Amino acid sequence: MVRTGRCWYRRYTRRVACGANPHSGRHRDSQQCPRLSGVQSSRWSRARAVVIVLALLAALITPVTLAAKATASPTLDLGAGCTARATVAARTVVRTTKVGRVERTYRIHVPRGYSGRRAYPLIVAFHGHAETAVALQRYSGLTRLPAIVVFADGLRGTDGQTSWQGAPYSSRASDDVAFTRTILREMRASACIDRNRTYAVGRSNGGGLVALLSCRLPHDFAAFAVVNGALYAQSWQGCAGAPPASIIEFHGTADPVMRYGGGARHGGRYVGVQEALSRWAARDLCVPASVITRVDRFATRYEWSWCAAPGKQVVHYRITGGGHMWPGANARTHARPSDAVSATNLIWQFFGRHVGTTGAGVK
């Protein structure tokens, strides 16, 4: 019940002035609070009223101001390596860095509950040609995984579209191997990252870069995932004599952009899926014959696990009738071939079976 009127207001201010509970109806000590004269009472009441109003305003405004500061910060303090921090909610921030004289950007998604008390897996993801990191983050579903995910941004290539090293249209200024090294170095210095569970994922032109990274930075990642890979000749540079690597690959037989059997595009030739799988299996010293499993009416799994290279594996999902899409990106139903399987779920399962060696890679 709310009291109104000037009489209540005068009683309220007098009780506060006497050090009493203003809502009790009684003074703390009537002997210590003698009745004031009319003038004294009026002046004292007005002074106390001003103090009370200011105190109430301060109490109401202060928490709001602090909350605004806490949510408006454009940066995310992950701590320095594995040091305990306050648990954070899932969120994404953008970081800018320099690779040589070229400014580069990447997005960092931190899963809900990250505190720096334990090491998290790290996934570095590369979008396709003419795409963005924002787009890959949206359709891939990688942010649902219990890992810190970096979505890197490519540079504009010779055709004016975003691209990665390893294609005929790549930017002349791009050194995406060095960019990847920089991302790994900065993330390991600023977040609690499990070096043994660091992985690379790429789609289309980004998949071509991941294939290149499997040759150039094989000790920095425990496993690699290629989706609709654009495997131009540039994606194989430096692969001669490269160490074995675990790779999972997804490709649709009806892909109109990067054809399953290989071809030419943008003035350069790219290898077909079977040729790429044969190269990766030979690199891991695997038995040439694969184990074939029918997943459903659209998807077939090919696996090379009988390999001389300890713990290495090559897996391929052939999507019959699948296009140039991330499998499962629109998987409300399994009616469409490209949604027959979830690439994200299968990639995470594959990554879970492969752990790197402590101390290897970028320092």
Cα separation, 21 vs 16, whole angstroms? 7
Name the residue range of residue 23's domain: 6-72
Mark whether 62 and 96 lie in a shared domain.
Answer: no
Regarding whether 195 and 274 lie in a shared domain, the answer is yes
| 137 and 169 fall within a common domain | yes
The reply to whether 211 and 317 lie within a common domain is yes
Please list, in sequence order, all residues whose beta carbon lies within 8 angstroms of the beta carbon of residue 99, skipping any fewer than 6 positions away.
Answer: 175, 178, 179, 182
Contacts (Cβ under 8 Å, ≥6 apart) of 240? none
Is 77 within the bounds of a domain? no
Half-sphere exposure at residue 116, Cβ-oriented, CA atoms within 13 angstroms: 18
269 domain-assigned: yes
Residue that terminates a domain, selected from 72, 102, 126:
72
Q: Give domain status of residue 358, yes or no.
A: no
The pTM of the full predicted model, rounded to 2 decimals, is 0.77
**Pair 47, 172 in one domain:** no
pLDDT by residue for the chain (363 residues), tens digit each? Answer: 434 444 433 443 344 333 344 334 443 333 333 343 444 444 444 545 544 444 444 443 333 322 222 222 334 555 556 876 666 677 999 999 999 999 999 999 999 989 888 999 999 999 999 999 999 999 999 999 999 999 999 999 999 999 999 999 999 989 999 999 999 999 999 999 999 999 999 999 999 999 999 999 999 999 999 999 999 999 999 999 999 999 999 999 999 999 999 999 999 999 999 999 999 999 999 999 999 999 999 999 999 999 999 999 999 999 999 999 999 997 554 558 888 899 999 999 999 999 997 555 555
| Secondary structure element (H or E) that encloses residue 215, with its range | helix 205-216
C-alpha closest to that of 190 among 294, 85, 101: 85
Same domain? For 272 and 337 the reply is yes
> Closest by alpha carbon to 95, among 142, 143, 151?
151
**Domain final position from 72, 102, 122:** 72
Is 213 in the same domain as 313?
A: yes
Same domain, 231 and 345: yes
Q: Which CATH number belongs to the domain containing residue 215 in this structure? A: 3.40.50.1820
Report if residue 345 sits inside a domain. yes
Structural domains in the chain (count):
2
Do 122 and 26 lie in a common domain?
Answer: no
Please indicate, yes or no, whether residues 165 and 301 belong to a single structural domain of this protein. Answer: yes
Residues 14 and 118 in one domain: no
Asked, for residue 83, whether it belongs to a domain, the answer is no
Judge whether 85 lies within some domain: no
Asked if 136 and 237 sit in the same domain, the reply is: yes
- Say which amino acid occupies 258: M
Domain-embedded: residue 139: yes
Look at residue 103 and tell me if it is in a domain.
yes
